[in-house]
Amino acid sequence: METGKADCSSENQDRILVVGYSCFDLIFSAPRFPEEDSMSRAVDYHKRRGGNASNSSTVLSQLGAKPEILAVMTDDEYGKFIQDDLKKNGIIFENCPVYAKTETPFTNIILSLSAGTRTILHYRPKDYPDNSVDDFRKLTLSKYKWIHFEGRGIPEVLKMIDVLDGWNSSHIEKKILYSVELERCHDDVKKLISKGNVVFVAKEFAKFLGYTCATSTLQGLAPLVQPGATIIVPWGEQGAVARSGDGEIIRSSAYPPKAVLDTTGAGDTFIAATIFYLSNNKTLFEAIDFGNKIAGAKCGMVGYLGIN
Ligand code: ADP
């Protein structure tokens, strides 16, 4: 195992770290979703770096932040594509472990141009490693002003949060704010509800918990988060609703694009833009409204370049 390299040695507390997953996406745009066992033509295709943390890092970079990703890297053909693309986008990945002889996770995505849907088929190689607390311990935490944890590999993420909480309690003046993302519909993801200054809850996860709208999700989860934590629930074309640490409910409507071309990563885009604003001391309303604006713009374009 070796470590990826990038050229950032600054000790300023100016980086936003995103801890999560990176994979290779092959995206087809089709007039409509194909019939099973049929042959049809796509109108376009794109190769892209994907995965929640990877997508959010791209958006942060487009917005002018200084993003770093902590994700497992590979060195096969697709792994090299991912590392080249991180470099091109100015995303720091110097602390990512690189696993030789490990296949890169691969996603096939079909975008239906008539329905605006995205259908995802994901391949995760057997025994693909998760991020580990050992990798997290190697970070110089004083470089980060915000850390976002994508909710996967929960046992290790909980250990990382313990390390971060420990660091924060001995560096009161440099406290690092952090957020968690509840999206994957697994029981162990519930363990993240009580963690973080900001808890992002995806609508899939809210439905998994039995909630039917963003507001009931906020009401149901409010007693379970840390005292003073903010809960944010993005809800597709309805926009987003948030509950501040002192219980105020804040809403912002979506910004629908002229045509929905690619909703892949809409949630990751929303999270990145919202964190970008929160980490720059904007209000909660300004932050979720900016999240909706940037995520809406993203839905109207393929990919992320030029999103701002
Ligand atoms: P995901 O399914 O990727 O987790 P959501 O569907 O909840 O994400 O959408 C996240 C954000 O993206 C929404 O809060 C909204 O700002 C934006 N968004 C998603 N779909 C649309 C749409 N059809 N029109 C405008 N904005 C959208």
Q: What sections of 31-112 are H helices per DSSP?
A: 52-62, 77-88
Q: Find the Cα–Cα–Cα–Cα dihedral 278, 279, 282, 288, rounded to 10°.
A: -20
Among 299, 301, 304, 307, name the best residue to mutate to test ligand 1's pocket (greatest count of ligand atoms within 8 A of Cβ): 299
Q: What pLDDT score was predicted for residue 6?
A: 41
Two structure tokens written together for 261: 């071309």
Question: pLDDT for 87-112, tens place per residue?
Answer: 999 999 999 999 999 999 999 999 99
User: Tokens standing for 81?
Assistant: 């594509």
Read off the tokens for 150. 């994508």
Does the pLDDT at position 3 exceed 90? no
Determine if ligand 1 sits within 6 Å of the CB of residue 266.
yes
Task: Tell me the average pLDDT of the chain.
Answer: 94
Whether 196 has a pLDDT exceeding 50, the answer reads: yes
Ligand 1 binding pocket includes 299 (Cβ within 6 Å): yes
| Residue of the CA atom closest to atom 26 of ligand 1 | 296
Q: Identify the residue whose tokens are 């600054």.
A: 10
Residue 239, ligand 1, Cβ within 6 A: yes
pLDDT at residue 11 in the model: 66
Closest C-alpha to 128, from 105, 100, 96 = 105
Task: Give the gyration radius of the chain's Cα atoms.
Answer: 19
Whether 233 is in the pocket of ligand 1, judged by its Cβ within 6 Å, is no
Rounded distance from Cα 26 to ligand 1 centre (Å):
21
Ligand 1 centroid–CA 244 distance in Å is: 21
For residue 10, the model assigns a pLDDT of 46
The pLDDT value recorded for residue 305 is 82
Using CA positions, which residue lies closest to atom 1 of ligand 1? Answer: 267
Residue closest by Cα to atom 23 of ligand 1: 237
What tens digit of pLDDT does each residue of 201-224 get?
999 999 999 999 999 999 999 999
| Ligand 1 contact via 229 beta carbon (within 6 Å) | no
Instruction: Kindly report each contact of residues 223-230 with a partner whose C-beta sits within 8 Å and lies 24 or more positions away, as own/partner.
Output: 224/193, 224/194, 225/193, 225/194, 225/196, 225/199, 226/194, 226/195, 226/196, 226/197, 228/197, 229/196, 229/197, 229/198, 229/199, 230/197, 230/198, 230/199, 230/284
State the pLDDT at residue 1.
41
Distance CA 121, CA 142 (A): 38
pLDDT, position 147: 98
Nearest ligand 1 atom to the CA of 296 is 26
User: Which atom of ligand 1 lies closest to the CA of 255?
Assistant: 25
